Structure 1
Amino acid sequence: MRKLPRVLVVEDEPSIAELIAVNLRHNGFAPTVVFDGAAAQREVDAVLPDVILLDWMLPGESGASLARQWRKQERTKTVPILMLTARSDESDKVQGLDAGADDYITKPFSTQELMARIRAVLRRRAPEVVNDSVQVGDLTLDAATYRVSFRGNELKVGPTEFKLLHYLMKHAERVHSRGTLLDKVWGDHVFIEERTVDVHVKRLRESLGQASSMIETVRGAGYRLTAQGSGARPAQGTSASAA
Structure 2
Amino acid sequence: MPTPQVDLFIPCFVDQLFPDTAMNMVKVLEKLGCAVHYNANQTCCGQPAYNAGYKTESCEVATKFLNDFPSAEGHYIVSPSASCVGMVRNAYAGLFEGSADQGRYHGVQRRIFELTEFIVDVLGVPSIAGARLAGKYTYHDSCSALRECGIRAAPRQLLDAVQGLERLEMAETETCCGFGGTFAVKFEAISVAMAEQKVEHALATGADYLISTDTSCLMHLDAYIRREKKPIKTLHVADVLASGW
TM over 0.5: no
Higher helix share: 2
Q: TM-score range by the shorter chain?
A: under 0.3
Higher strand share: 1
Report the TM-score when normalising by structure 1. 0.28
Which protein is bigger by CA-based radius of gyration?
Answer: 1
